[in-house]
Structure 1
Amino acid sequence: MKNGYSFLMLTLLVVLYSCSGARKSQKVNVLEQRPDPVESTAAATTSKKENNPGNTAINRSLDQPLDINRYDFVDYAKTFLGTPYKYGSADPDKGLDCSGLLYHIFQHYHVKSPRSSYDYENVGREVSVKKALPGDIILFTGENSRKIGHMGIVTENKDVLKFIHAPGSGTVVTIGRLSGYFEKHFVKIIRVLK
Structure 2
Amino acid sequence: MKQLTYLFFLCTLLVSCKPTSNIITSKSEAEKRGIYRAPQNKKAVARTSTSTPVRNENTPATTRKSVAAATPKKSTTKTVLNEKNADDYETEGDNSSYVVKQLINTAEANLGAGYHTGGTSPDTGFDCSGLMFSTFKKFDITLPRSSNDMAKIGRKLDQDEIQKGDLIFFRTNGRSVINHVGMVTEVSDDEIKFIHSSTQKGVIISSTKEPYYGRTYAQCNRIIVNL
Task: Verify same fold: TM over 0.5.
Answer: yes
Determine the structure 2 residue equivalent to 1:90: 120
Q: Distance in 1 between matches of 2:126 and 2:146?
A: 12
Determine the structure 1 residue equivalent to 2:136: 106
Determine the structure 2 residue equivalent to 1:70: 100
Aligned partner of 2:82: which letter?
A: L
Percent identical among aligned pairs is: 29
Are positions 1:122 and 2:152 aligned together? yes
Kindly indicate whether the alpha-carbon contact (under 8 Å) linking 2:103 and 2:136 is maintained by their aligned counterparts in 1. no
Q: Distance in 1 between matches of 2:219 and 2:25?
A: 30
Residue of 149, 158, 164 corresponding to 1:134? 164
Are positions 1:157 and 2:177 aligned together? no
Q: Distance in 1 between matches of 2:117 and 2:25?
A: 21
Kindly indicate whether the alpha-carbon contact (under 8 Å) linking 2:25 and 2:106 is maintained by their aligned counterparts in 1. no
Q: Distance in 2 between matches of 1:104 and 1:121?
A: 16
Kindly indicate whether the alpha-carbon contact (under 8 Å) linking 1:117 and 1:150 is maintained by their aligned counterparts in 2. yes
How far has the Cα of 1:141 moved from its partner? 1.0
Aligned partner of 1:148: which letter?
A: I
Aligned partner of 2:161: which letter?
A: K
Aligned partner of 1:161: which letter?
A: I
Determine the structure 2 residue equivalent to 1:184: 215
Larger Rg: 2
Greater length-normalized contact order (CA 8 Å, ≥ 6 residues apart): 1
Determine the structure 1 residue equivalent to 2:110: 80
Q: Distance in 1 between matches of 2:112 and 2:26?
A: 17
Aligned partner of 1:134: which letter?
A: K
In the TM superposition, what whole-angstrom CA distance separates every residue of 1:21-59 from its partner, at most 9, and x where no partner exists?
xxxxxxxxxxxxxxxxxxxxxxxxxxxx98999xxxxx9
How far has the Cα of 1:70 moved from its partner? 0.8
Kindly indicate whether the alpha-carbon contact (under 8 Å) linking 1:99 and 1:115 is maintained by their aligned counterparts in 2. yes
Aligned partner of 1:130: which letter?
A: D
Aligned partner of 1:140: which letter?
A: F
TM-score (norm 2): 0.56
- The 3 A distance-change label for structure 1 pair 130 and 84 is same
TM-score (norm 1): 0.65
Q: Distance in 2 between matches of 1:72 and 1:190?
A: 18
Q: Distance in 2 between matches of 1:151 and 1:92?
A: 17
Give the total of aligned pairs. 142
SS in 1 for 2:164: coil
